[in-house]
Chains A and B, each alone.
Chain A
Amino acid sequence: MQFDQLLQYTLSGLSTGAIYALIGIGFSIIYNATGIINFAQGEFVMLGGLLTLSSLELLKLPLWAAIPCSVAFSTLVGILFERLAIRPLKQPTPINLVIITIGGSILIRGLAMLVWGKDTHAIPPFSGDTPIAVGGATILPQHLWILAITVVIIIINKIYFYHTISGKAMRACAYNRRAAGLVGIDVRRMVLFSFIISSAMGAVAGIIVAPLTMTAYDVGVMLGLKGFCAAIIGGMSSGISTVIGGLILGVLESLGAGLISSGYKDAIAFIILLLILFIRPQGLFGKADSERV
């Protein structure tokens, strides 16, 4: 085994892993604020990519303007989704809500199919596609964008959750909704916030990955599932452990495909998911839940 091959596997894995991490954090934020798994998370990834495409082609916006435009629209869809599908529910039991998110994801995917058709679309890379050599391996400028934007988003997240009132309030909801409500936190508003943040993050993930992987109405399914895996490995935390979960998943997939067999690439992700759920349901880095004594 040559060193440059190993390096290539790791680099490829890290850049795919960063995407999984971004999507995974979206899952965790909503889970922490509402206690539900939002299976429509992958659809925001898809919307991010496709809306950017439309802004570029229909509105003729330059790339730097198309991106915020697309994030804003995806966030709007996230808000509508929360307002129209999640909030009006009479009996908001987790199982009902989870099924609603699955229904919502099918609906969004169907609408996207009608609007953008069934074809795959390409988005131009942010800054050219001349490969950059790192040791014996190569990466694309887009990979650097992905890694950089992921880092920036994680830092913003950290600041928001630990240093702002609404971030702290959201964490309070995650610990104990009832108690948070009793001290005067508007829990429902926090739920809306969580949808805003995670749909925006999903859209960003969808945009930065689209130049590499292309985008279509159905890209959200697989990416969503992988992001979910990342969140499970990270124990549904909205911080660094989900990021590490995503990176581990990406690197293992890439090493598995390179060293063992590419036929088992997806199997590796889901075997890890099952192992984590069996052995460490609190996540790889989580402490066992000691609250319910």
Chain B
Amino acid sequence: MKKLSVLVCCLSVVLLTASLSCASGTIKIGGLFAVTGPASFLGEPEKRTLELLVKEANEKGGIGGQKLEAVIYDTMGDPTKAQQLATKLIRDDKVTVIIGPSTTGESMAVIPVVEKEKIPLISCAAGIKITDPVKSWVFKTPANDHIAAEKIFAYMTSKKQKTFALLTVTDGFGASGREQIKVLAKQKGFTVVADEVYGPKDTDMTAQLTKIRGIKPDAIICWGTNPGPAVITKNVKQLGIKTPLYMSHGVASKKYIELAGTDAAEGVMLPAGKLAVYEALQKSDVQYKLLKGYDQSYKKAYGVEASTFGGYAYDAFLLATGAIKKNGASPEQIRTGLEHTSKLVSISGVFNMSSKDHNGLDLSAFEMVKVVKGDWALLK
């Protein structure tokens, strides 16, 4: 009898809280981020950003009187786990929109789930496969890698550089970059004279660079994330190579300059997301105020600089809340709202979605920058 009464008590408490949350009308946003594991450098700032934004939005009274609630799970960078957690978010937590996952592999695993359950997904991963071909419920915030590559090619054309050596890391980022750069180079009339790779944990790339030095290309394009590119930058200086060195947007943070050393990094050029270089931007830039605000509030809350990766979650949050404000908070309304996003100024760029483009960023998402005396300088 006692057991039964306890059970009834529990049940009533659960029902009561459930009805309460219904009555207050919260909008539930799901988050799937690789907070721990190998991709934690992506997931951690994304989670922090989303938490920060939800808190700020609620302090301002939520959206149209409705409070926001973020339900965030750690996928540990594991696609299987991401898939299970996506189902959990939809079935148990009843979220109306999902932000994340952090990596392309996880996003691809989650896509069938959201397509079937008809819940909009705003991925924070960069892989081109996620939104190409377009899937009706899937969006993503990071610009495609080939846009960054195009930015480099545009600059190389202006400097009359026709041949280049490619040096890519053997992980997902490097492999997809290598593929896209080679296709793009052919289209734009560039010649790839060397196609070298290195492992993500390699500690010395002088062998590859010596080979490249012998070929004498007009430029070197390196595609990877830290620490590889920093090692390469040091090696280039050691070998006395004077060929212009381009890096990917994957190293667009002060950390790269710090690791490579101010001396070795001098003159390295790369396409950077605007957040990394906002201090060098014109005050009149449409994104300037937002970028500064994000960086400062992130620094205040967590004591570290905001990163481009956290910016992806920022974009996703702005897109989602923008759609809710405009269209309404049901999954179908959010989906339509997202698809009709136009001129939304955010961290990664200015988003213009359409039924054919579920990413919505163009070349203006990046700025070509050069390392000058340990800091970024804009290239015109």
Contact = CB atoms under 8 A, between A and B. Distances in A.
Interface in A210-228: 212-214, 216, 218-219, 221-223
B204 A213 contact: yes
Interface residues of A, number: 37
A195 interface: no
A60 interface: no
Contacts of A118: 40-41
Contacts of A121: 259
Interface in A139-158: 139-140
A97 B264 CA distance: 45
Contacts of A262: 196-198, 207-208, 211
Interface stretch (B101-109, B230-238, B339-347): B230-238
Interface in A104-156: 118-122, 129, 131, 138-140
Contacts of B238: 129, 131, 138-140
A62 interface: no
B199 A12 contact: no
Nearest to B170: A263
B: interface residue count bin: 20 to 34
Given A138-B238, A213-B204, A120 B259 contact: yes
Contacts of B293: none
Contacts of A122: 230, 258-259, 261
Contacts, number: 94
Interface in B219-273: 226-227, 230-231, 234, 237-240, 255, 258-259, 261, 263-264
Contacts of B237: 129, 131
Interface stretch (A2-10, A82-90, A165-173): A2-10
A8 B239 contact: yes
Contacts of B234: 129, 212
A42 to B, nearest CB: 11
B210 interface: yes
A238 interface: no
A5 B199 contact: no
B208 A129 contact: no
B259 to A, nearest CB: 5
B303 interface: no
Contacts of A140: 238
A-B CB proximity, top 4 nearest? A213-B203, A257-B207, A258-B207, A120-B227
18 contacts: A5-B213, A9-B210, A15-B204, A119-B255, A120-B230, A120-B255, A122-B261, A131-B240, A209-B203, A213-B203, A213-B231, A219-B203, A221-B201, A222-B201, A223-B203, A258-B207, A262-B197, A266-B199
Interface of B: 40-41, 170, 196-199, 201-204, 206-208, 210-211, 213-214, 226-227, 230-231, 234, 237-240, 255, 258-259, 261, 263-264
